[in-house]
Homo-oligomer: A and B are copies of this chain.
Amino acid sequence: MGISERKEREKQDMIKLILDEAMKLFIEEGYENVTMRKIADRIEYSATTIYLYFKDKSEIFYSLLKIAFDKFYESQLSVQNIPDPKERLMAHGLVYIKFAMNNPNYYELMFILDDPVTKMNCPEDWQTSTRTYDLLKKNIQECMDAGCIEKADIEVVAFGLWSLVHGIATLMIKRGFMVPEPFREYLIYNSIQYIFSGVIMK
C-alpha cells in the first residue's frame, strides 16, 4: 500500500515540478520561446523525461491554463456572499486584482499571452473561462436593480469594469517595475476607489 502511494506522490511531484518551471518560462519568454530543452534544464532532467509526464508541449500549456482558470474562478466565488451589491461589486474588483497580483504568472497565462484561449480547441475549457465573467454580469445586474449604479447595457458596463481591473492588473504585472514597491498598493487601491466612487451613485 505504501509503495504505490509513494510512487503516485512522486509522480505528482514531478508533474508539479514540470508545471512550475514551465510556467515561469512561459511567462519569461513567451510560449514560442519556451523549448522542451529549456524546461528540461530547469528541472534538471533530460528533455525526454518530460514526455513521460506530458504528451507534448501544448499539453503542458493547457494543464497550466486549466489550473489557472480554476483557481481564478474560486477566488471570485469568495466574495459572492457579500449582501450589499455595491460593496460586492467593489469587492469583486479588489479580489480580481488581488488574484492577479498574487498569481501574476497565472494571470499572464490566462489573459495576456496569445496562445492560450485562442488555441484551446476543447469547448469545455471555454466554459471555465467565461463562467467568471457571468458572475460579474450577475452582480452588475443586481446593482442596477438596487439602484446603486446607473442603468445601462449590462455588456457595456461589464466590459468597462473588467477593462479597468484588467488594465490595472496588466500594467502592474508588466510595467509595475516603473512604480516603487510601497507605492503600488496605494496606487491600485485608490485608483480603483476613485473610479468606482464615480460610477456608484450616492
Contact = CB atoms under 8 A, between A and B. Distances in A.
Interface of A: 28, 30, 32-33, 111-114, 117-118, 150, 152-153, 155-157, 159-168, 170-171, 174-175, 177, 186-187, 190-192, 194-195, 197-200
Contacts of A186: 156
- Complex copy number for this chain: 4
Q: Is the interface of A mostly helix, strand, loop or mixed?
A: helix
Nearest to A189: B156
Nearest to A165: B167
Contact of A111 (B150, B175, B198): B175
Contacts of A168: 159-160, 163, 167
A160 B192 contact: yes
13 contacts: A30-B32, A150-B198, A152-B190, A156-B186, A156-B190, A159-B191, A162-B171, A163-B167, A163-B171, A164-B164, A194-B199, A198-B198, A198-B199
Nearest to A152: B194
Contacts of A117: 175
A160 B161 CA distance: 12
Contacts of A177: 118
A18 B33 CA distance: 25
Given A153-B190, A155-B187, A190-B152, A164 B195 contact: yes
A200 B194 CA distance: 11
A114 B170 contact: no
Contacts of A157: 191, 194
A194 B163 CA distance: 12
Interface centre among A112, A113, A155, A170 (most CB of B within 10 A): A170
A161 B150 CA distance: 19
A39 B142 CA distance: 52
